[in-house]
A and B are shown apart, each in its own frame.
Chain A
Amino acid sequence: MAMTQARPANATAARQGLVDCDVHVFPRSTDELKEYLPMPWRDRYSGGGRGFFGNPVHGSRLDSKPPAGGPPGSDPDFLRRQLVDEYGHAYCILLPRAFCNLHPDPDFGTAIAAAYNDWLADTWLSKYNHDGVFKGSITVNTQDPPAAAREIARWAGHPHFVQVMTDSGARAPFGQRQYYPIYEACERHGLRFAIHPGTDGMGINVQPSPGYPTHYIEWHTCLSLAFQAHLVSFLTEGVFERFPGFGITLTEGGVSWLPALLWRLDAEWKALRSEVPWLTRAPSAYLRDHVRLSSQPLENPDNPKQLLQIFEMMDAAHTLMFASDYPHWDFDSPTHAFPKLPEDLHRRIFSETAREWYGLA
């Protein structure tokens, strides 16, 4: 099964390789990141864990720890061997985990976001990226939207940053107007806005379930609740009317809930359209132009035909993009996570949709 040849040498072969929309890379140590933090933050920063709700078994694949040392996802040679070469990745969309949204001090959160961006640009997007397989996400701190917009502008035009990203953990749904400086900057610079689970209910952020769940299994299952709330907010607030060139990537927020949620929202809209008169079409009609979901962790019913039906319901050929979540514990294997797909649908999910969405060759 392992592909042992080097990365595709010609453009045609590269076009056939898969695009993995959720790959996590980490500094080799907290000190490596601190080199990119100015004072006074450098002295105050002690790493970016989320605190509670750690996986009680293990947080990363046990075989993802680099033999040469350092945490999972920190060694580019080993990541290339275990992921890029193993499965023939053409592109990895990198999402560092800065967890900057949980800080009570917005300046601290913004400084951490900037340090992660400088670190990523210096390492994975340049030193480790001779062939351009790595594409990055600009981390922003959503509790200070004007500062986040300036951070986006700082990286505009970079050849390897393809989107802006933040945690799903927030103090308010993302469709609300205080966030618009971020979306205006994304639209202006042609960058997608990705939301990834993290910092939900942590620090200053609210928990999207009624109160705090007891167990990791509850917290982790219910991460998709935040995504559903954020999506409904984006749609009903008219964000995609206000910023017609703006699009969101819902990363690791679940997949199969989408059709039922949109049926419900469309039904509400038929009766309550007058409350949100800026919508020019049914809420679900905005999906194809403005929303993509990444696949991992893919819900798999016992009967795989049912998943294929859900794919049809959600127009997966145009809305779903493969993601592995390497090196995390719930990694989805490109060769085993999906049921057998029709060839054209496979090509859409594993390659074409992401290339169109991110403007990749």
Chain B
Amino acid sequence: MARHVVGRVSEFPPGARKIVEVEGRSIGVFNVNGAFHALRNSCPHQAAPLCLGAIKGMTLPSKPGEYIWAREGEILRCPWHGWEFDLTTGRSIFNPHKMRVRTYAVTVEPDGGAAQEEEDEAVETFPVTVEDGLVILHA
């Protein structure tokens, strides 16, 4: 599992996403209400580009006729068939035990020169500032 610099925290606000190509895989990295998560950009259903989907909340299980809207910003909906996935776990909402998408670890690290090591163009073209951390994808 290699480290891949995805970008700076300061340029990656809550609700933002970035889709990166890592060793032949397309992976979506999301800032979910301040925490970073990464999912394979391929829906387990019919291989749609899952990470292009809308980021929403969801209706929680409730009594008939009752609507409880919650988890705003934590649910990714497939852009084709609308299947809901939990951005924080990769698990589908309708069957979290069997239907899930691959997830990857994401860490935030201080910029100790990692930008140069990773030869990430996007990082290299921006000046380093001391207060920024780096978002690192482990994939």
Contacts and interface: CB of A to CB of B under 8 A. Distances in A.
Interface string A1-37: 1000000000000000000000000000000000000
A331 B82 contact: no
A328 to B, nearest CB: 9
B82 A329 contact: yes
B80 A331 contact: yes
Given A57-B82, A62-B52, A336 B46 contact: yes
A329 B47 contact: no
Interface in B41-67: 45-49, 52-54
Contacts, number: 38
Contacts of B77: 57-58
A61 B77 CA distance: 11
A307 interface: no
If over half of A's interface residues share one DSSP class (helix, strand or loop), that class is named, otherwise mixed; here it is loop
A200 interface: no
Interface in A305-361: 329-333, 335-337
A333 B54 contact: no
Contacts of A336: 45-47
A63 B47 contact: no
A333 B47 contact: yes
Contacts of A1: 47
Contacts of A331: 46, 80-81
A271 B45 CA distance: 45
A63 B48 CA distance: 9
Contacts of A337: 46
Contacts of B46: 331-333, 336-337
Interface residues of B, number: 13
Contacts of B110: none
B63 to A, nearest CB: 16
Contacts of B47: 1, 333, 335-336
Sort chain A's interface into a size bin.
10 to 19
Of B49, B79, B80, B81, the most chain A CB neighbours within 10 A belong to B80
Contacts of A333: 46-48
Of A61, A330, A335, the most chain B CB neighbours within 10 A belong to A61
Contacts of B80: 61-63, 329-331
B49 A63 contact: yes
Contacts of A330: 80-81
A72 to B, nearest CB: 11
Contacts of B79: 58, 61-63
B81 A62 contact: no
Contacts of A63: 48-49, 52, 79-80
B49 A58 contact: no
Contacts of B48: 61, 63, 333
B81 A329 contact: yes
Interface string A46-62: 00000000010110011
B81 to A, nearest CB: 6
A55 B77 CA distance: 14
Given A333-B46, A337-B46, A58 B82 contact: yes
Nearest to A65: B79
A285 B53 CA distance: 45
Given A63-B48, A329-B82, 13 more contacts: A57-B77, A57-B82, A58-B79, A61-B48, A62-B53, A62-B79, A62-B80, A330-B81, A331-B80, A333-B46, A333-B48, A336-B46, A336-B47
* Top-9 shortest CB links A-B: A62-B79, A336-B46, A57-B82, A333-B46, A61-B80, A63-B79, A336-B47, A63-B52, A331-B80
